[in-house]
Each structure stands twice: as structure tokens, then as C-alpha cells.
């Protein structure tokens, strides 16, 4: 197959100069741009987190004023969710899905170019939203947090309008990307690549894409109403005009909860490749796992109000959302079981992607346990808006989304660059970042249970020790990413030549066609469709 894929290498036309990137319709180049963009945003979002943790080192106000702190909270979340995790996952989808399923490119290559180039524009708008409030006559900062709840968001200054348009642009970008990816998966599979031969990563993006198409427009609608309330005298969320601020919460979380699965699923997909590869066993219960993903997608759409237990919903409604939320632990638990049974009696080796894989299973399960605690209404009324929630969702999103992407980066770096990464540095990075992460967020469970509220610039001295430990951990966690950057640059610049298939176990189970191509793959691959036996 490798011959079929690469026979026309010598008349591969690679455009040169800046135009190669600006006008690119090549899925590999666009994938690379997505990944670089998210890496840049990772440092920006990380820097805002570092400023917050520095401020929280000791009780009292030291570095930033409260409004700036709250604006940092908003930006940290928006950058990490929309600027880092989603583009990185979309970049991997762009790079890998066509060469996994044997397609020459994405189904809609020009649309692909548009959906990437909207992102840097949105990124600039997002940065402006923070900068603009320091100019005279522009009103206050965007001090709402990423949930943008009215009435505070209706009163915020001009920065809020920048955030609203940022969300519009990001929304369009991810809807277009999702349409493109789902269409590619439906229409562009090589002959013989049937649905249940697809690698798990492709399946995970199929569901992620569907989720994105269903939820992003609702958020866009919600922030549009917010914009109208701010400037055009409507009263969607204004009680004085007959509206209701709680309505925005419903619109936001109708998007916001499935969004968690948008962030999680691609990483589950990466795990579905990494765990079998380094266990040298096929993925345990592959087909049920796909159905559990479908179940997660469906259930995830109908449990949003568990973020709003304290707004005064009736007992019946609250009970429904509680039971629905607890039900979600079934598909998620099944996925983790499936990975554990894949490792069971496998010939495991512990390369960097596998280390991340195992750490994800451990730490994400932990987030699952605190998640069930938060799902239970009487308990949640105590934990609501405390640091316990902060600890919970960082345990869910950092291992569940970010570490999954790191596993993917290390797993595919040899394929992308043609060079092996430095395994020793990779392992140092893994231990450094994992320990840093746990030192940062584990104490936050305790400060939360002791009653420390979230999104707050100053705190009672009784929380000083926990916050000090948390901040020390955060500095270590943040610094570890400089090593991550160094490893990536070093791998791009050189290193041991990577073979077509650098991982011994990557051909076991439901595998894609990416390992049949050389590393790095030619600019145009699978121009004639391969056939799968």
C-alpha cells in the first residue's frame, strides 16, 4: 500500500513562501497551523493562570486589582477552552483523519482554510477585549468569568462586545470545521474502510463534530441576545423589561455542558490508539466503546442544568438533572474500563504517550468521583462555587483533554516531523508536569471543602497554606511547558530518523492507514485511494 500512496512523490508540488500558509488548502499544513496556534495560545492562557496564582500566593492584594483578576479568570477560561483544546483537537483531526481513512484531503479544503484563518482573528479580538478596558471611556473589565452571566455582563464595558464577537467568530470557525470533519468521515473513507474499521480517534471526532454543530449555534444565539440587551434595548435577560437572567444560564449551559464532551472526546480517541499500541493488544470492546461514545453524546445534551442547582428549580426538575448526570458516569466508566482491560495482560511498555495514557485514566477517574459528588444536589448546594468545583473541573479537563492531546503530540510527533522525539526529555516532561499539576490542584479540594469561594482575588488567612502549596505547584506546572516547547522544537529541527511505523504495537486492532505512509508523509498522500483488505 505504501507504494500506492507515495508513487508520485517526485511530482509533488509544494507551494513556497507565505502563500503556502495563507492560501493553504492542504490538510497537513492547516493541521500544523492549528497546532502551532494552540501552542501559542497555551502559553498565553498559561501566563494568565500564572498571574492569578502569583496573586493568590499570599492573602491580600499584591499584584493585580480585583477587576483585572476577574478579567484574567474570564480570559484564562476562554483562551484555554476555545484557543487551546479545541484548535489542538481540530489540528490533530485535520492532520490525522484523512491519512487514517485513506482520503487525499479533507472533503471541503477551502472551507478548511477559512475555518483556520478565522481563529487568529478571534484570538486577537479576545486579547483586545482585555486591553481595551484600560483605555479611557470604555467602561469596566469583563469581570464575569467565561460564563458571561447577566446582569453583570450587560453592565460590563466595551470589552464585553469584543468577547461577544470573539465567540461569534470562534463559533463560525468551529461549526465549519465540524461540518468539514464529519463530511470527510462520512464521504471520504477509502474503499473497504467500513465504519467499524475506523480507528477510535476518527469515531471520537465524528461525535465531537456532531456535538459542535448542535451546541455552538445555541451559544451564538445566547450571546447575540446579550449583545441586543446591551445595545438595542431588548430585555431578553432584564427582569425590568420582563426578561429573566436565568434564561441566559440555560442557554449558556445548553452549550457549556456538551462542550465538556467536545473537549474530552478527542482525547478519548487518542487514548483509544495509544493504550492498544503500547499494550500490544487490540482495544478491548471496541464496538461497545463506540456505542458508549454515542450514549455519552446523547446524554451529554440533556443534563446541562446540573450547573444551576442553586437557581431555585423545582424538585422534579432538579431530580431529573441529578439522575441524568449520574447516568453519565456509566458510559464514561465503561470507556475507562475498556482501556484498563486493554492493558490487562498486555506486553506493556512505558513510552511518554503511554505514561500520559495511564495518568489520564487515574486522574480522570478521580475527577469522575468528585463529579458524582457534585452531581448529588444536597451535596452540590454545599460545594457550589467553591474551590472544590475548581479542583474538580481542572482534574477533568487537564488530564481528560490536555494530557490526552499531549499523548497525541508525543504519539504522532515522529509521523509529523519525521524525527523521533527525545524519549528521556519526554519522560522528564511527563513527571514534571504531572507532579506539578497534582500539587496545584489537589489542595484545592481541601480549601474548597473548607469553604473557599472561587473567582476571588483575596481570601481568608485560614486558606493561606493550601493556596501557597497550590501556587508553588502552579509555577512548576507552568514552567514544565517550556520543556515541552523545547522538546517540540528539538524534534522539528532534527533527531533520530523516524521509520514509517515507529511504534511496535501500532498495527494491532482497528488501525488507520497513517503508519503505511512515510514519516513525514508526502505533501499529497493517497491521491489514488488505497484498498483495505
Residues that bind other proteins (CB under 8 A): 107-108, 175, 178-180, 182-183, 186-187, 209, 213-222, 225, 233, 236, 238-242, 244, 246-247, 250-251, 254, 312-315
Minimum gap (Å) between residue 164 Cβ and other proteins: 14
Distances (CA, A) of 231 to 143, 160, 168, 246: 19, 12, 17, 20
Minimum gap (Å) between residue 429 Cβ and other proteins: 38
Q: How far apart are the first and last CA of the chain?
A: 11
Angle at 85 between CA 82 and CA 91, to 5 degrees: 100
Minimum gap (Å) between residue 35 Cβ and other proteins: 24
Minimum gap (Å) between residue 192 Cβ and other proteins: 18
Q: CA dihedral in degrees (505, 510, 513, 515; nearest 10)?
A: -10
Q: How many residues does the chain have?
A: 533
Minimum gap (Å) between residue 179 Cβ and other proteins: 4
Question: 10 Å Cβ neighbour count for 341?
Answer: 16
Q: Based on CB atoms, which residue is closest to other proteins, 310 or 528?
A: 310
Angle at 363 between CA 359 and CA 365, to 5 degrees: 120
Site of grid cell 458571561: 148
29 in Cβ contact with 21 (< 8 Å): yes
The closest alpha carbon to 89, from 264, 315, 238, belongs to 264
Q: Based on CB atoms, which residue is closest to other proteins, 2 or 224?
A: 224
**162 φ, ψ to 5°?**
-65, -40
203 in Cβ contact with 290 (< 8 Å): yes
Q: Based on CB atoms, which residue is closest to other proteins, 30 or 398?
A: 30
Q: Based on CB atoms, which residue is closest to other proteins, 259 or 514?
A: 259
The closest alpha carbon to 304, from 293, 291, 313, belongs to 313
Minimum gap (Å) between residue 229 Cβ and other proteins: 9
Minimum gap (Å) between residue 297 Cβ and other proteins: 14
171 in Cβ contact with 191 (< 8 Å): no
**13 φ, ψ to 5°?**
-95, 115
Q: Based on CB atoms, which residue is closest to other proteins, 235 or 376?
A: 235
The Cα 225–Cα 280 span in angstroms is 52
Question: 10 Å Cβ neighbour count for 315?
Answer: 8
Q: Based on CB atoms, which residue is closest to other proteins, 180 or 277?
A: 180
Minimum gap (Å) between residue 190 Cβ and other proteins: 15
Q: Based on CB atoms, which residue is closest to other proteins, 243 or 408?
A: 243
In sequence order, what are the residues at sequence separation of 6 or more whose Cβ sits closer than 8 angstroms to the Cβ of residue 340?
361
The H-assigned helical ranges of 195-346 are 200-231, 245-279, 286-300, 315-327, 329-343
Q: Based on CB atoms, which residue is closest to other proteins, 163 or 220?
A: 220
In SS3 terms, 147-174 reads as CCCCCHHHHCCCHHHHHHHHHHHHHHHH
Q: Based on CB atoms, which residue is closest to other proteins, 243 or 357?
A: 243
Q: Based on CB atoms, which residue is closest to other proteins, 168 or 281?
A: 168
Q: Based on CB atoms, which residue is closest to other proteins, 301 or 379?
A: 301
What are the counts of helices (DSSP H) followed by strands (DSSP E) for the chain? 19, 0
Q: Based on CB atoms, which residue is closest to other proteins, 44 or 178?
A: 178
In sequence order, what are the residues at sequence separation of 6 or more whose Cβ sits closer than 8 angstroms to the Cβ of residue 135?
none
Minimum gap (Å) between residue 339 Cβ and other proteins: 30
Radius of gyration of the chain (CA): 23
Point out which residues pair with 419 in neighbouring strands: 497
278 in Cβ contact with 210 (< 8 Å): no
Minimum gap (Å) between residue 262 Cβ and other proteins: 14
Q: Based on CB atoms, which residue is closest to other proteins, 125 or 175?
A: 175
Minimum gap (Å) between residue 271 Cβ and other proteins: 26
Minimum gap (Å) between residue 320 Cβ and other proteins: 13
Q: Based on CB atoms, which residue is closest to other proteins, 155 or 382?
A: 155
The Cα 217–Cα 131 span in angstroms is 27
463 in Cβ contact with 449 (< 8 Å): no
Site of grid cell 489537589: 442
Minimum gap (Å) between residue 412 Cβ and other proteins: 26
In sequence order, what are the residues at sequence separation of 6 or more whose Cβ sits closer than 8 angstroms to the Cβ of residue 520?
415, 416, 417, 418
Minimum gap (Å) between residue 148 Cβ and other proteins: 14
Amino acid at each position: 500500500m505504501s507504494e500506492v500512496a507515495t508513487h508520485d512523490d517526485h511530482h509533488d508540488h509544494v507551494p513556497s513562501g507565505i502563500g503556502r500558509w495563507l492560501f493553504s488548502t492542504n490538510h497537513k499544513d492547516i493541521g500544523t497551523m492549528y497546532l502551532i496556534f494552540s501552542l501559542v495560545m497555551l502559553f498565553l492562557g498559561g501566563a494568565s493562570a500564572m498571574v492569578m496564582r502569583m496573586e493568590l500566593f499570599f492573602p491580600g492584594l499584591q499584584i493585580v486589582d480585583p477587576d483585572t483578576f476577574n478579567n484574567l479568570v474570564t480570559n484564562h477560561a476562554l483562551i484555554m477552552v476555545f484557543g487551546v483544546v479545541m484548535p489542538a483537537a481540530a489540528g490533530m483531526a485535520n492532520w490525522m483523519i484523512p491519512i487514517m481513512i485513506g482520503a487525499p484531503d479533507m472533503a471541503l479544503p477551502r472551507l478548511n482554510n477559512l475555518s483556520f484563518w478565522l481563529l487568529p482573528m478571534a484570538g486577537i479580538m479576545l486579547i483586545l477585549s482585555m486591553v481595551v478596558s484600560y483605555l479611557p471611556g470604555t467602561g469596566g473589565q469583563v469581570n464575569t468569568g467565561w460564563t458571561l452571566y447577566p446582569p453583570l455582563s450587560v453592565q460590563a464595558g466595551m470589552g464585553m462586545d469584543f468577547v461577544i464577537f470573539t465567540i461569534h467568530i470562534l463559533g463560525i470557525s468551529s461549526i465549519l470545521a465540524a461540518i468539514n470533519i464529519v463530511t470527510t468521515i462520512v464521504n471520504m473513507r477509502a474503499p473497504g474502510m467500513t465504519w467499524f474499521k475506523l480507528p477510535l480517534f476518527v469515531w471520537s471526532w465524528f461525535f465531537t463534530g456532531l456535538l459542535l454543530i448542535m451546541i455552538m449555534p445555541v451559544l451564538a444565539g445566547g450571546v447575540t441576545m446579550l449583545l441586543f440587551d446591551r445595545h438595542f434595548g431588548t430585555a431578553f435577560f432584564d427582569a425590568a423589561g420582563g426578561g429573566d437572567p436565568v434564561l441566559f444560564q440555560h442557554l449558556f449551559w445548553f452549550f457549556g455542558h456538551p462542550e465538556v464532551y467536545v473537549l474530552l472526546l478527542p482525547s478519548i480517541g487518542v487514548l483509544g490508539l495509544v493504550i492498544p499500541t503500547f499494550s500490544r493488544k487490540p482495544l478491548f470492546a471496541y464496538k461497545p466503546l463506540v456505542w458508549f461514545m454515542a450514549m455519552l453524546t446523547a446524554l451529554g445534551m440533556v443534563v446541562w442544568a446540573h450547573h444551576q442547582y442553586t437557581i431555585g428549580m423545582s424538585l422534579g426538575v432538579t431530580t431529573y438533572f441529578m439522575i441524568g448526570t449520574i447516568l453519565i458516569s456509566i458510559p464514561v466508566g465503561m470507556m475507562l474500563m475498556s482501556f484498563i482491560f486493554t492493558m490487562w495482560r498486555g506486553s506493556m511498555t512505558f513510552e511518554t504517550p503511554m505514561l500520559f495514557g495511564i495518568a489520564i485514566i487515574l486522574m480522570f477517574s478521580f475527577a469522575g468521583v468528585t463529579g458524582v459528588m457534585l452531581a448529588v444536589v444536597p451535596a452540590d448546594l454545599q460545594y457550589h462555587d467553591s474551590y472544590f468545583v475548581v479542583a474538580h473541573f481542572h482534574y477533568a479537563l487537564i488530564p481528560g483533554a490536555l494530557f490526552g492531546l499531549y499523548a497525541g503530540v508525543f504519539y504522532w510527533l515522529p509521523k509529523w516531523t519525521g524525527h523521533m522525539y527525545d524519549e528521556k526529555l519526554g519522560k522528564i516532561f511527563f513527571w514534571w508536569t504531572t507532579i506539578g499539576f497534582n500539587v496545584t490542584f489537589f489542595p484545592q479540594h481541601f480549601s474548597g471543602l473548607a469553604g473557599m469561594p472561587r473567582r476571588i482575588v483575596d481570601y481568608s488567612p485560614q486558606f493561606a497554606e493550601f493556596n501557597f502549596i497550590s501556587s508553588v505547584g502552579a509555577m512548576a506546572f507552568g514552567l514544565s511547558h517550556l520543556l515541552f516547547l523545547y522538546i517540540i522544537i528539538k524534534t522539528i529541527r532534527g533527531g533520530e530518523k523516524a521509520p514509517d511505523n515507529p511504534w511496535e504495537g501500532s498495527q494491532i486492532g482497528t488501525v488507520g492507514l497513517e503508519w503505511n505512509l512515510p514519516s513525514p508523509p508526502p505533501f499529497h498522500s493517497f491521491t489514488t485511494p488505497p484498498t483495505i483488505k
